Amino acid sequence: MRPSLSRPGAPRQAEIAPPDWLRARLLHLGPEVMVLDKPAGLPVSARRGESLEALLPALRMGKRRDPQPAHRLDADTSGCLVLGRTAPMLARLNALFAERRVGKVYWAVVRGAPAAEAGVTEARLRKTSTAAGGWRMEAHAAGDPARTAWRVLGRGAGFAWLELRPETGRTHQLRVHCATLGFPILGDAMYGGGQAGGLHLLARAIALPLEEDLCVEAPVPDHMRAAVAACGG
């Protein structure tokens, strides 16, 4: 359940200081917008266990209400996550994402070497599930439209370092598109990238068209550094 705004005259709850590790992951802190470097392995929301949602009260940073994510990242994806710190800004951010006006850049290390240096895939995506394997996304002609532009940033030792620019925001879009093209993301057990080392997918940068354009970049996480370096990064 989302936290509600305080009633007029209601006592203000005591503020919880964010732990040092969380404060260190703040990439941007403005009056209305916060951008967090979400760590890999931390879900945005969860019914049980640790999640970003449970940490939101510690991110009030002087506000009366918890900040709220304006979009989602997969639990195993690290990098830029935008949160609205006021109700009007959250609504505005939600609209920007829905209207596809937010610039999003991802970095991935993939297994295999694309023959071309750049390209675009428009494989349509749909959700499928089985009793044995649970749910996943798949490329299918009856799926929802999805479009991703990609280019090679570096190559090395049977891997490639890619820049990915999703023009739509389908669930697992980048993971499925890379797998469908024949170069699954390293560490993506669900879509053929193997299990070792964690998912090598980073929400590298985000650009928000506000009164003053806001552009934020996230650093390469520890688990991706060796593979990016092996590809010349």
Which residues are part of the catalytic machinery?
A: 74
Question: How far is Cα 137 from Cα 173, in angstroms, rounded to an integer?
Answer: 8
85 CB-near residues (< 8 Å, 6+ apart)? 30, 31, 32, 33, 34, 61, 63, 67
- For residue 82 the two structure tokens come to 């935008």
| Cβ contact 83:66 at 8 Å | no
| Cβ contact 64:9 at 8 Å | no
Residue 173: name the closest of 204, 205, 199, 138 by CA.
Answer: 138
Distance from the Cα of residue 222 to its chain's centroid:
16
| Strands 26-29 vs 125-130: parallel, antiparallel or unpaired | unpaired
